[in-house]
């Protein structure tokens, strides 16, 4: 198939359309994906390395309120989701149809969840991605506010968890932690985290 070379807008449109697909409810489909991911983080001790960074207070607040945020996700319309939508996992297209791979996290989740996950790895800003997702989302599935909330929670908690994972890997080496922010294994995750600052502000008001 044609190499997608896809813009983030096409990917957002595609995951929005997929959120309206009918995939049934066979038992092998993933559910509670965000809860499971945060459960794994909790078993590793949470976000202790972020406590040594400038986002320490925000990270602590959001970590202690994670069950509240997961409850908000539970209350949103539950729709089909890929679970790991990135450009690498949508490598091809056939006209207006996207070819996606890596379906290990296929299941149902909060509307907007795939959008939030996707937004961490695209060049485009969130608002145009949101518009593209809503354009693809079939009428009647969910309103804009629900999509935004789902995207914000998934994006923020995913970005913080990734930043913790990356920083923890280099934190034990010599030198101050701040000196390692530009490490090639860390910098991309911190840039993605920076992109969620607006979302964090919104979540702090909930």
Per residue in 74-116, pLDDT tens?
A: 999 999 999 999 988 988 888 888 899 999 999 999 999 999 9
* CATH number for domain 2-204, candidates 3.90.1200.10, 2.120.10.80, 3.40.1260.10, 3.40.50.10490: 3.90.1200.10
pLDDT at 5: 56
Contact 164, 193 (CB under 8 A): no
Q: Cα(70)–Cα(110) distance, rounded to whole angstroms?
A: 10
Q: What percent of the chain has pLDDT over 70?
A: 97
State how far the Cα of 70 lies from the Cα of 167, in Å rounded to an integer: 24
176 or 186, greater pLDDT = 186
For residue 71, pLDDT beyond 70: yes
Residue 1 has pLDDT above 60, yes or no: no
CB of 183 within 8 A of CB of 49?
no
Q: What is the mean pLDDT of the chain?
A: 94
The CA distance from 115 to 96, in Å, is 18
Domain ranges of the chain: 2-204
Q: Is the pTM of this model over 0.85?
A: yes
pLDDT above 80: residue 151: yes
- Which tens digits make up the pLDDT trace of 17-50? 999 999 999 999 999 999 999 999 999 999 999 9
Q: pLDDT value at position 117?
A: 97
Closest by CA position to 6, among listed 95, 79, 103: 95
């Amino acid at each position: 198939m044609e190499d997608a070379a896809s813009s983030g807008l096409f990917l957002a449109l595609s995951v929005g359309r997929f959120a309206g697909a009918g995939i049934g409810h066979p038992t092998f489909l993933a559910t509670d994906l965000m809860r499971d991911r945060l459960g794994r983080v909790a078993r590793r001790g949470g976000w202790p390395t972020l406590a040594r960074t400038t986002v320490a207070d925000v990270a602590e607040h959001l970590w202690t309120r994670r069950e509240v945020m997961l409850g908000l996700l539970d209350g949103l319309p539950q729709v089909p989701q890929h679970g790991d939508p990135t450009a690498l996992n949508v490598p091809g297209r056939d006209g207006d149809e996207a070819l996606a791979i890596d379906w290990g996290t296929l299941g149902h989740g909060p509307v907007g969840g795939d959008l939030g996950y996707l937004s961490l790895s695209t060049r485009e800003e969130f608002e145009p991605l949101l518009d593209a997702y809503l354009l693809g989302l079939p009428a009647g599935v969910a309103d804009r506010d629900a999509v935004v909330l789902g995207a914000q929670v998934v994006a923020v908690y995913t970005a913080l968890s990734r930043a913790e994972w990356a920083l923890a890997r280099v934190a034990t080496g010599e030198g101050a932690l701040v000196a390692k922010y530009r490490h090639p294994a860390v910098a991309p995750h911190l840039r993605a985290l920076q992109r969620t600052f607006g979302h964090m502000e919104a979540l702090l008001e909930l």
